[in-house]
Structures are given as structure tokens and as C-alpha cells.
Structure 1
Amino acid sequence: MKLFLTLPLILSCIFFETAKAFKHKPAVVLVHGAWVAPSFWNLTAERLRADGYNDIVITDFVSGKITNPPTSTHRDDVALVQEALKPLVRAGKEIIVVMHSYGGLVGSDAIEGFVKKASYGSVGGVIAGVYSTAFIVEPGKALSDYFGGSTPAFIVPDPQNPAYVNVDNPLDILFNDFTDAQAAKYLPDVRPAAAATFGSKAQYAPWKDIPCSYIATALDKAIPPALQKSMYDAVQGQSLRKWPFYEVGGGHASAISKAANVAKLIELADSK
């Protein structure tokens, strides 16, 4: 009798574990920040692929390429990220959007209209947002609002085109925890950013619709740890649920210097 009672339970456990093993992992869209190239995410992407995340898209920006006239707002970059989301949603993919630095402004607005709606029976869509040392910009605010209405001293006009800005001493501000070999590899990829993107205002708060998490960096000189925490604290009361707050010991570009750690924390957004 006991055999007949326990056999269905055993079979259900086997089925559950098998289903977990064959569960399709979500797609991951990686949105980098200002001044860096898409290669910023390469090491993290490699780690994710090694863990079975095969659908990875690394987006790029218009605002990081000098044009005439210059890109006026972050909305041009939002459009590019949304173009990356569209085919994934059409293919029925669940998506985690991972954002870094300025990419927090861009990625947040790009998620609007792409959230997975279970109540509507949709299969594909964004299911989580991960802010990796990223700005959490509330609707109606701009990046400059988080620096007292101006720009930090390390941001300087591009000498060739004042409509763009550069990082003064990127080795110290962006790559302060890098080895010499890492710095030599990534410094050539540093590029200008459109100055006007720092004044364009956010329009959407994805944290009201999807679970989000934050990866903080203790050695960051571009977004100081205190600012990271204050942005995080400011949105907890208006979020779908309280965000996990993780910390890694790296600088601003921890997706390179701490790629293994960052990848594992991204994967936690898939632990449903």
C-alpha cells in the first residue's frame, strides 16, 4: 500500500527535476553605459554562455558615435535597445535586461511596452531588470539631477566637438581596479558621449512592473557607492517588490574586472 502512495510522489519529483533541467533559460540583453563600447560586456557574456544562457544580445548606442547634428537625447539609444527586444519578444523569449551606468536610463525606458504580461497570455517579454552599477532614474528626472543639476568634474567637453563629453582620466574613473593588461585592452575603446543625454528625462519606471535587482560596486569613482545606495533606497517604496542589493568589490567597470561575480548575480534574476 505504501508503495502505491509513494510512487506518484516519486514520479512527480522526478518530473519536476527533469523539467527544471530542461527549462529554457531567458534571453539576456546587455546595455552598456556611456563612454564604453559593446566590448564592455564580452567577459560577462562569456560567463553567461558557459552557464547555458545562449540568447545574449549586447546593444550599442547612437550617442557614443559623433554625428552632425549630435544625438539630442537618450531616446535615440532607447530606440536601438527596443529594436533588439522586438525579435526576442516575437520569438516568445523571456528576457532579462541588464543595464550599466547611463544604460540604466536607456534600458529602463526601453523596457516600456515590452514587459511580459501573463494576464494577457503573452509568452515573450521582459521578466526582470538588473542594474549593474547603473543609474536608477525616476520618471521626470535626468542624470544631471543626481549630481546637483550639473555634471561631475571628471566629465569634460570633447576638444573636437563640444556637443560631446569625455571622461577626464578614464584609467582612474572607469578602470581604477584594472590590471595593466586589462587597461591596455579597454582604454582604446573609450569614446565620447553626447552631452545632451545628461539632461534628457526618464519616462518609465520598470521597477513598478517587474522584479529588479542592484549590483553595487564598492570602489566606484563614477557613481560613488553612496549615490548607488541612495538611488536604490529612493525607489523601494514604489517597486513591485523590494530589490535584492548585491555588492561586488570592483570599480565602475566591474563587468570586466569581476565578470564571474557579475554573471552569477545576473543569473539570480532567473531564479523563479
Structure 2
Amino acid sequence: MPPKPTLIFVPGAWYPVDTWDKVTAFLEAKDYKCVRVALPSSTTSDPSTSFLDDVTAVRTAILAETTQGTDVVVVVHSYGGLPGHSASKGLTQSKTPPPAADKSGHVLGFAMLASGFTMTGMSFLGGFGGKPPPSWEADTESGFAVIVAEPRDMFFHDLPEAEGAYWVERLGRQSLKALAEGGEHAYAGWMDAPVWYLQTAEDRALPLQAQRMFVQMARNAGGDVTVREVESGHSPMLSRAGETAEFVEEAVVDFLGR
């Protein structure tokens, strides 16, 4: 079997990077190198942080591996799909064999959890018609996207009470600018590489019906999308960590076999 790729983990909006810890523990025990990317827009508490800052953070993590000749798989959750896809521009494996002198690694594919498919040239809010969904509002005075739904119910309802409360406290302040602007930096990288998509059947933030619609739209556009489903809420990396790790590994094996 080819060498194992490095796994790049990208969290969603508001989420701290350590929400990936349970999953990476499973995978690191199987000798995968796991790199978790903290998105500036949700970790710096700076309303001027942009979508480009998020894309740059992910791309920097990818290039740190590919420039050393190591292939990567990008694992994204929720909003993380947007910077994750966009950061891969020009770094996927071309259908044309590279020159013999090119020893760079490539993005082999994407493993997506309860996420959307980036449209080239469109910001995150652009996908919602320019208006936030009912679960959060754009606070233009503070410059942050503010959750107005009950966050534990929306994100962590299938976790034990204490654990759910812990993660609610760990949610960051999300830059509104990163969600509302920056469409010129958005790129549909999922069109350039295969995708495995984990649908979350009990999701209260991104309902299963919407996820299925996104997948069908991606397939209709020519995307290569393999679907799996898990009985979890919006955070399967926490509530179904073992199953999520198995999903990621299954995706990696598929990508390596192509």
C-alpha cells in the first residue's frame, strides 16, 4: 500500500480545534499523522478576521506536507468545508501525469462531515441568499456572528449533559466578515478530487434533508461523492468519534486505491 497521507482537520464556525481530539486519537494510534487547523475567524476574537485568513491557515498546513512530498486528505466539518475546499486550489492530483522532476504531494480527496459544497466565487452567506439562517444573526455593531438558537441543542444535543455544556463554553466568537465576505477567494475544490461525505441523521444545525440535497447538487454538477450516514447530531467527531474515525480511514483507503 502507498504511504499513508497526512490528515488535515478543519473545524466549523465557532468550533475550537480540539473538537477533533477524539478522532485524531483513534487515527494517530493507527500511525496517521494528524494536523488540526485552528481557523483564525473563530479563534482570534477579532471581527476583522477574513475568509482569506481561514483559507490561508488551511493552505499553509497543506503546503507544509505537500512541499515535502507527502499527500494529504482534508477532513472538514460544517463551515470548514469552505476554506478546506478553497485552500486546495491547484494542489490536487492532475489527471495529467506530473513531470518526473515534480516530487510534490497532493490533496488526494476530502472527507466531509455535515458540510456544504463550496461554490467558486461565492461567500458562505452567499449560499444562504445573503441572509443568515434562523439559528444565528449578523451583529454588524460587534462584527460577530451571534448564535441565537440554544447552542447545546443545536450542536451537542446527543452528548452527555456535562460534556455538552463543556463544549458550549468552548465555542469561540465567530467573525461575521469571514462568513459574509471573501467570495472571490472561494473555490470548488471538491470538483477536482473525490469526496466522502458523512451525513448526520439527527442533525439540528444542518438537517439531514439539506445535506442530502447538497450531495445531490454536487453529484449533478459532476462531483465524485461517496456517502455514509451516522446516527448523530451536528458534531459526530464528539458523539460518534469511533465511527467518524472509521469513516475517515475508509475514505483514505479509497483515495489511495484510485
- What residue number does 1:13 align with? none
- What residue number does 1:179 align with? 160
- What residue number does 2:30 align with? 51
| 1:112 and 2:89 matched | yes
| 1:266 and 2:243 matched | no
Within the candidate set 20, 31, 55, 1:78 is matched to 55
Distance in 2 (alpha carbons) for counterparts of 1:31 and 1:114: 17
| 1:212 and 2:190 matched | no
User: Which moved further from structure 2: 76-85 or 114-123?
Assistant: 114-123
CA contact (8 A) 1:215 1:265 kept: yes
Residues 1:183 and 1:158: Cα distance change in structure 2 (over 3 Å): farther
| 1:231 and 2:214 matched | yes
CA deviation after TM superposition for structure 1 residue 166, in Å: 2.6
| 1:149 and 2:130 matched | yes
How many residues are treated as equivalent by the alignment?
246
- What residue number does 1:249 align with? 231
- What residue number does 1:134 align with? 115
CA deviation after TM superposition for structure 1 residue 218, in Å: 0.9
CA contact (8 A) 1:207 1:239 kept: no
CA deviation profile, 1:146-176 (whole Å, cap 9, x unmatched): 43431122213569x6200232321011111
CA deviation after TM superposition for structure 1 residue 40, in Å: 0.9
User: Which moved further from structure 2: 247-256 or 175-184?
Assistant: 175-184
CA contact (8 A) 1:35 1:166 kept: no
Tell me the secondary structure at the aligned position of residue 204 of structure 2: coil
- What residue number does 1:6 align with? none
CA deviation profile, 1:107-150 (whole Å, cap 9, x unmatched): 01011122134611444111011111112122133322443431
- What residue number does 1:95 align with? 72
Distance in 2 (alpha carbons) for counterparts of 1:104 and 1:176: 22
Tell me the secondary structure at the aligned position of residue 263 of structure 1: helix
Distance in 2 (alpha carbons) for counterparts of 1:142 and 1:176: 28
Distance in 1 (alpha carbons) for counterparts of 2:71 and 2:82: 21
Distance in 2 (alpha carbons) for counterparts of 1:76 and 1:267: 29
CA contact (8 A) 2:117 2:190 kept: no
Unaligned 5+ segments in structure 1 are: 1-19
Distance in 1 (alpha carbons) for counterparts of 2:90 and 2:194: 16
Distance in 2 (alpha carbons) for counterparts of 1:175 and 1:60: 20
> What is the RMSD computed on CA atoms of the aligned residues?
1.9
Larger Cα Rg: Structure 1 or Structure 2?
1
Tell me the secondary structure at the aligned position of residue 134 of structure 1: coil
**Identity score, percent:** 27
CA contact (8 A) 2:19 2:237 kept: yes
CA contact (8 A) 2:132 2:138 kept: no
